[in-house]
Structure 1
């Protein structure tokens, strides 16, 4: 309730700041490169990556330096990979759900998701968001029958350089509540693994964000991709 009241109280400021951020923040394109393919040698493994602009790799020039490229590079010497990236800048949980419904029904060993920032910017409550997430993951399980689902947490948006205060603070609180609600639900889901987007740790390592101050950089994608690959290796011993 307090977050809703804070949102209402700050609404005039949020409208002004949001308009200014949209106007002044550079709009980065999704990187070039393949979005599906076959590569590697070893144990057969299929991977599907779903989500928003971070899943799509915005912030770097090529998919090789993005999440999908890092995951593939990490795993290709141990697994014969069949992989696919289906992600779009600006997508909310509801839009990713609609996109999943349009994909062919087939089995994937691993599904990786990155969703939430665009839900935060639309000020979706954690209660509504978790309902949408559950709906999405139910569809993912029915359509792809994954053995492992890796869920990337919503970034702590209070640390995004592109966002002024109090907009950054408010977005950060929304992201925090979403992550807390999501993690509580995932604890009872055996095949799910959660990755926290630890931007404070990245800052401690002096890792930059992308030049728009809103998306991951090459260095952040490298760490994130390795986290995904490590979870895959733990579940699918090569």
Structure 2
């Protein structure tokens, strides 16, 4: 049908970053030099490039969408604006810490550089969902206790009551996800480490130390503009 197939062999490995860059440059030059030719570039390297760009686009779309939906749920549940924002910031910080430590471990300890492009997105969805569960446990109880006993005593009472449950749930869940690391697939190994480590950070540090400390530092304004925000410290 008047079409021409040109086969080309790269001078670098087909799955290397250099090959991906070569395909990207080739597509750009074809689009500039022959915009009406309808030229397509395929192959292993092109598939890797398409997967990478799709994963980046999905991450840029899904992450803000998830954060907005979760924030709205927290606002309705806690009847406040400041507390949900604090919780979302803590969630994002926890995910960033897990991703940073995971990068160091994979690159410099396990000598497994690189990752499946969808690993960060999967890890984000898992960690945000699990972290918000712990946030709901803690802060919904803190709101109830604040209405009855004041802000400071309410937060401390909520931490005392829910701390053991959150810690136990986090340890069990981390151990469950860590079991996926025995499967000989790089994708599952990386996902298992990120989620298990992130859950432990979330349960042992964020929900038991960081979130209560932020709530105490901010004071009753944590519950603004809800009724709990008008309760004395």
TM-score band w.r.t. shorter chain: under 0.3
Q: Which has the higher strand share?
A: 1
TM-score (norm 1): 0.27
Q: Which has the higher helix share?
A: 2
Bigger Cα Rg: 2
TM-score, normalised with respect to structure 2: 0.27
